Amino acid sequence: MEFIDSTALSTALPRLAQAFSADPIHLKLALTSYILALAVFTPASGWAAQRYGARRVFLIAMLVFLAGSALCGLSQNLGQLVAARIVQGIGGAMMTPVARLIVVGSTPKDKLISAMGWFTMPAMVGPLIGPPIAGFVLSVADWPWIFYLNLPIGVVGAIAVRRFVPKGAPDPEAGRFDTQGFVMSAVALSGLIGLAETAGLSLLPPLVQALLLAVSLDAGWLYLQHCRAQAKPILDLTLLRYPTFRASLVGGTFVRLGIGASPFLMPLLLQVALGWSPLKASGVTIATGLGVLVARPFAGALLKRYGFRTALAVFVVATALMTAVPGFFTASTPMWLMIALLLVGGFARSSQFIAANTIAYADVPQPRVAAASTLAAVSQQVGLALGVSFGGLMLHMTRGVGEAALTPSSFVWPFVAIGVVTLLALPVYLRLDKDAGASISGR
């Protein structure tokens, strides 16, 4: 539901801009508001799963997500849609991290690559079928049905969870919820993402932006002090002492800063700048999902043959190049060439993320897996949110003041910029030991 929803919504952004009479660039609020809710509420997911049981939390999260989906479909303006997306995000914040916790916590390390490959399958299939679903829905119905489709899927999913997922007992050692740390981290993350979202768009006065930055930095500094004194902080930053976890987190954040903007920029390029229909545009963007899907069977063999450091370095370079390429698409670019390039990009991106997500837990002791999963999930959402904001800012700056129309040339520098940001992960991966993660790669 999450991955289909996100990719389908991206495809529908130009249609939503017409329905709400809003600037297409401002529609990124519909993406970042959801990701912001994920980043803020994900830290509570690990504790909630331990305290109340993973299956119970997972089911409640699904119900909240479905309620948010219904509210999204009923929205009459951008403000209502953003509020409904926040409700969706609260549910999503508990779904994926708790699911990852169930998988990682119950899988032997020698089978972790295979398990994480299966776990990433929704992330592969979702982008694959989300765009064509959205294109078809928008050709036969109005945009709210993109969200209403979640309702029957969610009901079937809830029944499946009750049938197949072990109930599990709450952990008596979960301890008290770190309320103080949660508030501090929420303020810091909200301020950072809010500042990035409004930068350059004249949505907030400069004085308010400066105040937002000061509050965010102060909250972040206070949380660092709190983390040192707290036995079980809501975000355990001491996990960054493990080199493989640190490389996965920092490098993965740079990659998500780059590619996070792609789902926002691609529909605007194809549908607004090139004038394609949603259905035609989805026929091209589906290639990324196909590339992601194709990569999965090869991930284990590649890591075993070349090791994590080499694989990460090669695939992050390929990901950066393929992330920048769509900026050079024009009306004369053959459709088959677009599909081929996006297919290669999807393969590189998927291979990079399977390697990065797996090596993150190579050196983390089993008792700290839940905390590591929570911190990794938060960093992922922050990277994606900042990526969308960065892409929107680059597009706004390229278009210039007073220029109403988006043309293919408007997208050249935004795509090049996000490609450069993606490449910043390369030095991080190259600092890994050549045998890093060998215990789980089988090399």
**Domain layout of the chain by residue ranges:** 2-166+232-441, 189-231
**Would you give the DSSP letter of residue 338?**
H
Residue 138, sorted as left (phi over 0), alpha (psi -120 to 50) or beta, turns out to be alpha
pLDDT of residue 68: 94
Question: Which CATH superfamily hosts domain 2-166+232-441?
Answer: MFS general substrate transporter like domains (1.20.1250.20)
Return the higher-pLDDT residue of 14 and 197. 14
Structure confidence at residue 360 as a pLDDT band (50, 70, 90): confident
> Across the chain, what does the average pLDDT equal?
84
If you count them, how many residues does the chain have? Answer: 443
**How does pLDDT run across 280-296, given as a tens digit for each residue?**
888 888 888 788 778 77
- Which residues are CB-contacts of 355 (< 8 A; sequence separation ≥ 6)? 299, 303, 308, 311, 312, 315
- Residue-wise DSSP of 390-436: HHHHHHHHHH-TT-----GGGGHHHHHHHHHHHHTHHHHHHTS-TTT
Return the number of other C-beta atoms located less than 10 Å from residue 197's C-beta: 24
How far apart CA 88 and CA 82 sit, in angstroms, is 10
Say if residues 88 and 1 touch (Cβ distance below 8 Å): no
Mean pLDDT throughout 383-394?
Answer: 85
The stretches of 232-277 forming alpha helices (DSSP H) are 243-259, 262-267
Q: What is the pLDDT of residue 123?
A: 67
Please name which of 89, 78, 97 lies closest in space to residue 33, comparing C-alpha atoms.
89
3-state secondary structure at position 281: helix
Q: What is the mean pLDDT of residues 365-394?
A: 83
Question: For residue 220, how many C-alpha atoms fall within 13 Å in the half-sphere facing its CB?
Answer: 12
Residue 7: what residue type?
T
CA atoms within 13 A on the CB side of 304: 10
Per-residue confidence at 140, pLDDT binned at 50, 70, 90? confident
pLDDT at position 24: 76
The pLDDT of residue 412 = 92
- In whole angstroms, what is the distance from residue 271 CA to residue 377 CA? 31
**Rounded CA separation 231/258 (Å):** 35
pLDDT at position 124 is 64
CA atoms of 177 and 441, how far apart (whole Å): 36
Among all chains, which residue has been given the structure tokens 């981290």? 185
Give the pLDDT confidence score for residue 260 in this predicted structure.
Answer: 81
The region of weakest confidence among 85-89, 126-130, 264-268, 335-339 is 126-130
Instruction: Please report the pLDDT score of residue 442 as a whole number.
Output: 64
Nearest CA to 290 out of 326, 338, 357 is that of 338
Q: How far apart (Å, rounded) are the C-alpha atoms in residues 191 and 183?
A: 12
Taking the C-alpha atoms of residue 94 and residue 53, their distance in angstroms, rounded to an integer, is: 12
Note the pLDDT of residue 172. 66
pLDDT at 65 over 90: yes
- What pLDDT is attached to residue 135? 83
Grouping H, G, I as helix, E, B as strand and the rest as coil, residue 362 is coil
Least confident of 4-13, 42-51, 199-208, 289-298: 199-208
Q: In 3D, which of 366, 436, 432 has the Cα closest to residue 105? A: 366
Q: Which residue has the tokens 């660092």?
A: 224
Tens of pLDDT, residues 166-194: 776 676 666 788 888 899 988 998 888 88
Phi/psi region, residue 318 (left: phi>0; alpha: psi -120 to 50; beta: rest), is: alpha
Identify the burial level of 315 via C-beta atoms within 10 angstroms of its C-beta, where 0-12 means exposed, 13-18 middle and 19 or more buried.
buried
Is pTM beyond 0.75? Reply is yes
Mean pLDDT of 94-111: 76
Q: What is the pLDDT of residues 36-48, one digit of tens each?
A: 888 888 888 777 8
196: amino acid identity, one letter? A
The count of other CB atoms within 10 Å of the CB of residue 225 is 10
- In the prediction, which pLDDT does 102 show? 73
Half-sphere exposure in the Cβ direction for 171 (13 Å, CA): 15
